Amino acid sequence: MLFSRLRGLRARRLLLLWLLLLTDWQTGSGQLHYSVPEEAKHGTFVGRIAQDLGLELAELVPRLFRVASKDRRDLLEVNLQNGILFVNSRIDREALCGRSAECSIHLEVIVDRPLQVFHVDVKVKDINDNPPVFKGSEQRIFIPENRPLNSRFPLEGAADSDIGVNSLLTYTLSPTDYFSLKVETTDELSKSLSLELRKSLDREETPELQLLLTATDGGKPELEGAVRLQITVLDVNDNAPLFDQAVYRAQLVESTANGTLVTTLNASDADEGVNGEVRFSFGNDVSPDIQEKFKVDSVSGEIRVIGDLDYEKTKSYEIQVKAVDKGTPPISNHCKVLVKVLDINDNVPELEITSLSLPIKEDAPLSTVIALIKVSDLDSGVNGQVTCSLTPHVPFKLVSTFKNYYSLVLDSALDRETTAYYKVVVTARDGGSPSLWTTTSVSVEVADVNDNAPAFAQPEYTVFVKENNPPGAHIFTVSAMDADAQENALVSYSLVERRVGERLLSSYVSVHAESGKVFALQPLDHEELELLQFQVSARDAGVPSLGSNVTLQVFVLDENDNAPALLGPQAGSAVSELVSRSVGAGHVVTKIRAVDADSGYNAWLSYELQPSTGGSRSPFRVGLYTGEISTTRSLEETDAPRQRLLVLVKDHGEPVLTATATVLVSLVESGQIQKASLPTLTGAVGSQASLVDVNIYLIIAICAVSSLLVLTLLLYTALRCSVTPANGACAPGKPVLVCSSAVGSWSYSQQRRQRMCSGEGPPKTDLMAFSPGLSPGLNISERSEQPEVNSDPSGNVSPNLSYDFNLFLDLTSFLKYYLNSI
């Protein structure tokens, strides 16, 4: 019958298991709560965790959805296809939490991109899966036959591993006339069982009794356990020891030293002699853990500590103590000793860092989560209250996300170029006295982003290069530095392409992409290009790429590579002149005109009369800087009628370049000159009228050009004040006249072209005048021929005249030269 009853209980257990498969959940304070019955089958539904957390099913795998549970990793799992939390393996509440009233599994749900953490508590519900269990299958009780009615005999009760109503036991005793079952319950202790004698015993009539004690729990279905009571009726020693207290209470701090007295038991026996001698011992149901930490003196009844107490493992001890006399048979009695362990601050806080998101980019936004930190302290109360802090002066802070959970987040902007690495020390300190603390460090590496453009040491460089350089000559090296790292700091160089006149800039110069070396691709000519201004761009290899430009002003220095060139009929052939023998000293015979395509001292010409071959002194001289051939004295009869004058024209360059002009002078009488002049005068009278007409046209042209120039200057000034000039192509400059004094010569260069090429404005043409130094050997007349020069106070010729004003000066000078020639 007993076995059939047990089979019915099993059926009811299965029915209850299926009824408890329904779970509930709730959210609050950022935490999900679910519940699941213990012993649930694999795959049992717990909750739609993805839906309850507000996560889409499609983003679970990309965001690396994962569930972490310390020391309980395989009990629950999440199906990433449907977002359902289910039972993965057997859950035994008693194995997880023992007899604790609350039992739950704490899960950490972590997703990345961005990093988030959620906390889930799954409460494990108790089911009635453990029947009441007695320590043994039989309890032997010895009762003297002379025990009075209402005497009580303690019994060892059953234990149920379940909690709550499932562990609430009720006891029943098989029917008997001699005994009744008494059950006493207190708030702190378990139920105390005893048999109460209802009818006097007679060993001769009934020497032994066999009863069945059944324990039934409060679960549904109910589970039972039973023990057989073997009662032996004794004929001697009819008084049991009596304790002065049914319950002894004591409090000990967990740091109590070994040998400390817990309490002293006091029991007395009304018998005399050996039957009244009492010995103390632990009850048969005392656990080995209690026996390792306490001992009782069998004679004095003193209970002392013999092992280390730990509040975090066991907060209280319930000790069953037995007092037995020495009678035959011995009689015993029981009492309970309740020892409460008091907590002290003996546990250092623990730090655990998970989910590091490193390295962190220097442009990461504020509040970016870098790491998750969990703190714990095994102590209780204020001793277990932990606060976290960081080392000062770091761009990070701790944010509390949940109880004992923190996030290490970015608090201020990062700059890898200033600080590329941080060692953040996290300190956890409890509230005990004295306080205990622990530290751990987090190494935070700052990843580089391309936030720095390459920078040159200065915005503009001036380079001087001699003309006629060999093709491919290295003229300069630009260098830019980038404060970033790796590919973000890899700098490449290139030209900012534009047109220089009718040609591209890249036909003049090139720049090496890696070294920044600037090369001249062709020989440069100072007469064509005085200033080449361009920009070199430096860009890094970051994404997106950053860059900056530097301006190079390349001045082409003149070299004396052009010899003086004769103008007019003097070029290429000798010039014949007639001179009357009656002329006096200082008579101007003719004038040698020459130009030099170079500039500066390389274009400054001087004239020198070569000595005659016979060694005789020539009656002629040439002006050192004017080129005028004049007589030095009155002509004499002894002078040769034909004079061959060789005039050497040379510049002041290094080396000196020269040209030679030949003048054939014929000495004639004055009458012969008049005869020779009549045809010329006749032609001159005829052409004078046309010359007057030409002069009128020239005057009209000058007035028109001057009016146009004034209007152009006004428009140019207005545009220059209102609009910043754009980079333009360089046009060739107009011819420049180098002017001397009134007694000097006009030297007009048809090939002289000064050009300044830049990207900042229109081309510029210079009007340059030179003031040569006079040597001490020059006579007074030669000194009077020195050109008068106007220069600025610094001694340098100003190159800042505008193109239009230079054009005006050129036109005016040309017209003046033309009129003088006429």
Q: Are strands 628-631 and 499-500 parallel, antiparallel or unpaired?
A: unpaired
Q: Looking at 76-80, 180-184, 646-650, 797-801, which range is the least confident one?
A: 797-801
Cα 94 off chain centre by: 51
Strand, helix or coil at 454? Answer: coil
Question: Region 263-267: what's the mean pLDDT?
Answer: 94
The per-residue b/e assignment along 450-476, b for 16 or more CB within 10 angstroms, e otherwise, is bebbbebeeeebeeebebebeeeeebb
Question: How do residues 33-47 score in pLDDT, each as one tens digit?
Answer: 888 898 888 888 989
Burial group, residue 313, by CB count within 10 angstroms (0-12, 13-18, 19+): exposed
DSSP symbols for 188-227: SS--EEEEEE-S---TTT-SEEEEEEEEE-SSSS--EEEE
pLDDT value of residue 675: 54
In one letter, which amino acid is 645? L
Question: How do residues 228-251 score in pLDDT, each as one tens digit?
Answer: 999 998 767 778 899 999 999 999
Do residues 659 and 594 lie in contact, with contact meaning Cβ atoms separated by under 8 Å? yes
Is the predicted pLDDT of residue 26 greater than 60, yes or no?
no
Cα angle for residues 613, 615, 616 (degrees, 5° grid): 115
What percentage of residues in the chain have a pLDDT greater than 90? 32
Question: How do residues 348-364 score in pLDDT, each as one tens digit?
Answer: 999 988 878 888 998 89
Beta partners for residue 425, in sequence order: 441
pLDDT value of residue 91: 82
Which residues, including other chains, have CB under 8 Å from residue 522's CB and lie 6 or more apart? 471, 507, 508
Is the predicted pLDDT of residue 199 greater than 60, yes or no?
yes
Question: Region 786-814: what's the mean pLDDT?
Answer: 40
Q: Which of 532, 512, 516 is nearest to 524 (CA)?
A: 532
Q: Which of 105, 108, 89, 86 is nearest to 97 (CA)?
A: 105
- The model's pTM: 0.48
Do residues 23 and 228 lie in contact, with contact meaning Cβ atoms separated by under 8 Å? no
Question: How do residues 556-597 score in pLDDT, each as one tens digit?
Answer: 998 998 989 988 777 777 888 888 888 888 899 899 999 998
- pLDDT category of residue 428 using cuts at 50, 70 and 90: very high
- pLDDT category of residue 674 using cuts at 50, 70 and 90: low
Is the predicted pLDDT of residue 112 greater than 70, yes or no?
yes
Q: Looking at 54-68, 69-83, 582-596, which range is the least confident one?
A: 69-83
pLDDT value of residue 494: 95
Is the predicted pLDDT of residue 801 greater than 70, yes or no?
no
Helix, strand, coil % (nearest 5) of the chain?
Answer: 15, 35, 45
Question: Both tokens of residue 808?
Answer: 């005006």
pLDDT value of residue 785: 37
Q: Are strands 104-111 and 66-68 parallel, antiparallel or unpaired?
A: antiparallel
Q: Looking at 178-182, 213-217, 700-704, 805-809, which range is the least confident one?
A: 805-809
Strand, helix or coil at 383? Answer: helix
pLDDT value of residue 398: 92
Burial group, residue 294, by CB count within 10 angstroms (0-12, 13-18, 19+): buried
Neighbours of 295 (CB within 10 A): 17
What percentage of residues in the chain have a pLDDT greater than 70? 79
Question: Region 680-703: what's the mean pLDDT?
Answer: 57
- pLDDT category of residue 334 using cuts at 50, 70 and 90: very high
Is the predicted pLDDT of residue 746 greater than 60, yes or no?
no
Question: Region 474-492: what's the mean pLDDT?
Answer: 93
Question: Region 284-296: what's the mean pLDDT?
Answer: 91
Question: Region 319-336: what's the mean pLDDT?
Answer: 90
Question: Region 116-140: what's the mean pLDDT?
Answer: 85
Choice between 520 and 574, residue whose per-residue pLDDT is larger: 520
pLDDT value of residue 275: 83
Residue recorded with tokens 């005829």: 686
pLDDT value of residue 694: 53
Choice between 466 and 25, residue whose per-residue pLDDT is larger: 466
* Alpha carbons 162 and 219: distance in angstroms, whole number: 9
- pLDDT category of residue 478 using cuts at 50, 70 and 90: very high
* Alpha carbons 378 and 385: distance in angstroms, whole number: 10
Mean pLDDT of the residues in the chain: 79
Question: Region 305-310: what's the mean pLDDT?
Answer: 93
Is the predicted pLDDT of residue 85 greater than 90, yes or no?
no
Residue recorded with tokens 């009934």: 206
Q: How many CA atoms within 13 Å lie on the side-chain side of 201?
A: 27
pLDDT value of residue 797: 35
Do residues 511 and 526 lie in contact, with contact meaning Cβ atoms separated by under 8 Å? no
* Alpha carbons 295 and 261: distance in angstroms, whole number: 10
Question: Region 366-389: what's the mean pLDDT?
Answer: 89
Is the predicted pLDDT of residue 796 greater than 70, yes or no?
no
Q: Which of 340, 436, 427 is nearest to 384 (CA)?
A: 436
Choice between 192 and 463, residue whose per-residue pLDDT is larger: 463
Q: Looking at 163-177, 538-552, 748-762, 807-821, which range is the least confident one?
A: 748-762
Is the predicted pLDDT of residue 110 greater than 70, yes or no?
yes
Question: Region 420-445: what's the mean pLDDT?
Answer: 91
Q: Which of 818, 546, 809, 532 is nearest to 699 (CA)?
A: 818
* Alpha carbons 224 and 217: distance in angstroms, whole number: 7
Is the predicted pLDDT of residue 685 greater than 90, yes or no?
no
Is the predicted pLDDT of residue 684 greater than 50, yes or no?
no
pLDDT value of residue 708: 84
* Alpha carbons 680 and 686: distance in angstroms, whole number: 10
Strand, helix or coil at 818? Answer: helix
pLDDT value of residue 752: 39
pLDDT value of residue 72: 63
